[in-house]
Amino acid sequence: MPKFKPVPKFRSEDDEREFWATHDTTEYVDWKSARRVQFPNLKPTLRTISVRLPEHLIGGLKALANERDIPYQALLKQFLAERMREEWRHRRAA
């Protein structure tokens, strides 16, 4: 079994990023024994965008969201996510 170099202690994340950008991880980590890990509580990074929508569409979203007792922006995100999944499913099937 190969001997791995010890991972140094870093003063900051920037120092660590710079180190890993210039060093091969296989000299420091035994990737053959690595296991896949899931982080279920991580929230996706959100980015604010501006979309111009017709008043009637916003009114309809607000009405539907009110029936479901959720903010209309959350409902819009759900609709977009559902449609994206549907589009990707069709692309994979084609």
Tell me, what amino acid is at 56? H
According to the model, what pLDDT value does residue 1 have?
63
**3-state class (DSSP) for residue 43:** coil
71 within 8 A of 65, measured Cβ to Cβ: yes
Look at residue 8 in the predicted model and tell me its pLDDT.
95
Question: Domain segments of the chain: what residues?
Answer: 47-94
- Residue 57 CB partners (closer than 8 Å, separation 6+): none
Low-confidence ranges of the chain (pLDDT < 50): none
The predicted pLDDT at position 63 comes to 98
For residue 44, the model assigns a pLDDT of 82
On whether the CB atoms of residues 10 and 16 are closer than 8 A, the answer is yes
Q: What is the pLDDT of residue 93?
A: 86
pLDDT of residue 2: 75
Q: What is the pLDDT of residue 71?
A: 97
| The CATH fold of domain 47-94 | Arc Repressor Mutant (1.10.1220)
Please give the biggest Cα pair distance in the chain: 67
Q: Kindly report the pTM of this predicted structure.
A: 0.54
